[in-house]
Amino acid sequence: MLRTLHNQGIGMSPLEGPGARSLRERVGALRNLPPFVVMVWQTSPWLTCAALLLRLMRALLPVAALYVGKLIIDDVVLLLQAPDRPGSAADWLAGGRLGPLASYLAAEFLLAVLADLLSRATVLIDGVLGDEFSMASSIRLMRHAARLDLADFEDAEFQDRLERARRQTSGRLGLMGQLFGQAQDIVTVASLVVGLAVYAPWLIVLLVAALLPAFVGEAHFNAQAYSLDFRRTPERRELDYLRQTAASAETVKEVKIFGLNDFLIGRYARLAGDFNAANRRLGLRRAGWGGLFSAIGTLGYYLAYAYIVWRTLGGDFTVGDLTFLAGSFLRLRGLLAGLLTGFSTTAAQALYLDDLFSFFEARPRILSRPGALPVPRPITRGFVFEDVGFIYPGADRWAVRHLSFTLNAGEVLALVGENGAGKTTLVKLLTRLYDPVEGRILLDGRDLRDYDLDSLRASIGVIFQDFVRYNLTAGENIAVGRIDARDDAGRIAQAAARAQADDVVARLRGGYDQMIGKRFRNGVELSGGEWQKVAIARAYMRQADVLILDEPTAALDARAEFEVFQRFKELSRTRTAILISHRFSSVRMADRILVLADGRVEASGTHEELMRQAGRYAELFELQAAGYR
């Protein structure tokens, strides 16, 4: 049979391609079940206990119902065979001979009612526990992701891992019910096996042998489904991206102007078509072989059924025994088939749990050292870059190298340079989003890595050019600069005034309580310049010792940017500050300007000093100034 499967292109050998799993790996994936059960238990111990208790009660009902049915039939047959049986229903009642039968019927009725109540209670408990588990696992995933490094999130392979892990926080809810259901079925099987063993033990062996082919086939196709799902993670992310890009408030203008709808829809349809075709091919093979294996199991059942009928005709079994055995065998067949298939499915789902637990095993590399120091308040000497070099993972050129300069405490330093000169990389190194590959960065004479990471980042306020436009209220958008002070209305208003965002808020119908962004109902969209003022207010909200503006004013006109930078310098008199901008008319107000080129400091000085040097800075300044003439 296995050779036939292999010849049909669905052999049991390890699957080819990324995500393939050998039989040993599939069985080994069952190691994920204990930590999964622990996660469910930690979500809600009392709900977990309730779910298990309900299933234990349900597990014992089938054999009880079958046995009561046997008693009913045997009693009916006995009454019908009585030589002095009454001639009418009234006589039966008057004779008082229906007492035991009535008791059996009442018991069967109560069992049916109890079964329905237990089933409904189980669905309710499972639903509540599933929601709680999804929430708890999602929170755990978000907390763990927040600890990982920026380098991880800039890696496409990590994004695939994150996407697979994110899908498991809700995609494995069925596994919880399945595990509990299998525990219930095992108890039921054990009770039915005891009953069958009394009459014909070898029937159980026949049943298991007939069901094994279906189990092997199901295990194989589950593994193929996982392999396909694993390999298609990048395509699934692209499908989500295309779906979002084709119909979102952020992209609708360009999509309409450039007429991109047909292009995006066509690309989505092509990818989705390939995806569905692969699923369809697998589904067809699964249905064909599954039908064959199911027929083998059905044949085994009817052989056993014929044997029970033959023994009944021979007088070995009563009619009630026939009913009990046939019903028990039928139920046992269904349960064993479900358990074997369920075991295969559980093993397949345990493979998916690899995606979740392997993500939790990822560890950040940028951490606080044991005994890390708090950042000094205030900073007295400043930062020193000593021969710093850094290259991004997978890149073929250094972002910065042999970078050496000093940022004095209380100094406003401007960074200028062409794209790719290393300005933003310098900021990422200063905030320890990355650590240098070569050299070191000192803060007040100590290596930056000697300081507590949270303390370092809390002392620095950064607004990047690609700042986030949060779909939150205006007040919350500003408060993210120091989210633990989000209830401090005075601090929020002060930060808005410093960034000239108070005028933006004043024009909003709901003021600081107005939802901004169009994702949610009643949200109001801001212009690019208005968003940037709100984002700059976050830096002031932070009230940090070091303030960094990394080209956050690109959407402002020249006058507005000059005013923002002028105010920034005035409000940063007691703070260390870094300004990054392509507008040289704005950065000239800095105490000192660094000119970066090819990841190195090419020149340093005031605007006047750099103009006298007639180097790159003077050339770029003149080119830009010529555009305004």
Confidence of residue 16 (pLDDT cuts 50, 70, 90): very low
pLDDT at 20 over 50: no
pLDDT at 182: 75
Q: Kindly write down the DSSP assignment for every residue of 141-169, as one continuous string.
A: HHHHHHHS-HHHHT-HHHHHHHHHHHHHH
What tens digit of pLDDT does each residue of 379-432 get?
889 999 999 999 988 888 899 999 999 999 888 898 988 888 888 899 899 999
Provide mean pLDDT across the span 188-192.
72
What contacts 503, CB < 8 A, 6 or more positions away?
none
Has residue 580 got a pLDDT over 70? yes
Distance CA 427, CA 458 (A): 15
Q: What is the pLDDT of residues 129-144, one digit of tens each?
A: 888 888 888 888 888 8
Note the pLDDT of residue 389.
Answer: 93
Report the range of poorest mean pLDDT among 60-74, 79-93, 584-598: 79-93
- Residues 536, 588: Cα–Cα separation, whole Å: 20
User: What pLDDT, in 10s, does the model give residues 461-471?
Assistant: 888 877 888 88
What share of the chain in percent tops pLDDT 70?
71
Angstrom CA distances, 500 to 166, 506, 551, stand at 39, 11, 17
Element (H, E) at 349: helix 319-361
What is the model's pLDDT at position 255?
64
Q: Is the pLDDT of residue 147 over 50?
A: yes
- Residue 212 CB neighbours (<10 A): 15
Note the pLDDT of residue 14: 31
C-alpha to C-alpha distances, 119 to 114, 123, 154, 192, 330, nearest whole angstrom:
8, 6, 48, 20, 21
Binned at pLDDT 50, 70 and 90, residue 257 comes out as low
Q: How many residues does the chain have?
A: 629
Cα–Cα dist 334/340, whole Å: 10
- Label residue 620 by pLDDT band (50, 70, 90): confident
Burial class (CB in 10 A: 0-12, 13-18, 19+), 306: exposed
Domains defined along the chain, listed by start = 28-361 (1.20.1560.10), 466-543 (3.40.50.300)
CB-based burial of residue 352 (10 Å sphere; 0-12 exposed, 13-18 middle, 19+ buried)? buried
> What whole-number distance in Å separates Cα of residue 515 and Cα of residue 519?
10
Tell me the per-residue pLDDT of 69-120, one tens digit each, with 9 for 90 and over: 878 777 777 776 766 666 665 666 666 666 777 788 888 889 888 988 988 8
Q: Say which range, 146-155, 375-384, 537-546, 568-577, has the weakest mean pLDDT.
A: 568-577
Q: What was the pLDDT predicted at 161?
A: 77
Residue 475 pLDDT grade (very low, low, confident, very high; cuts 50, 70, 90) = very high
Report which residue type is found at 527.
Answer: S
Q: Kindly give, in sequence order, each residue whose CB lies less than 8 Å from that of residue 277, ignoring residues fewer than 6 positions away.
A: none
Give buried/exposed letters for 322-337 (b at 16+ CB in 10 A, else e). bbbbbbbbebbbebbb
Give residue 506's pLDDT: 92
The answer, yes or no, to whether residue 19 has pLDDT greater than 60, is no
Residue 483 has pLDDT above 50, yes or no: yes
Beta bridge partners of 408: 382
pLDDT at 195 over 70: no
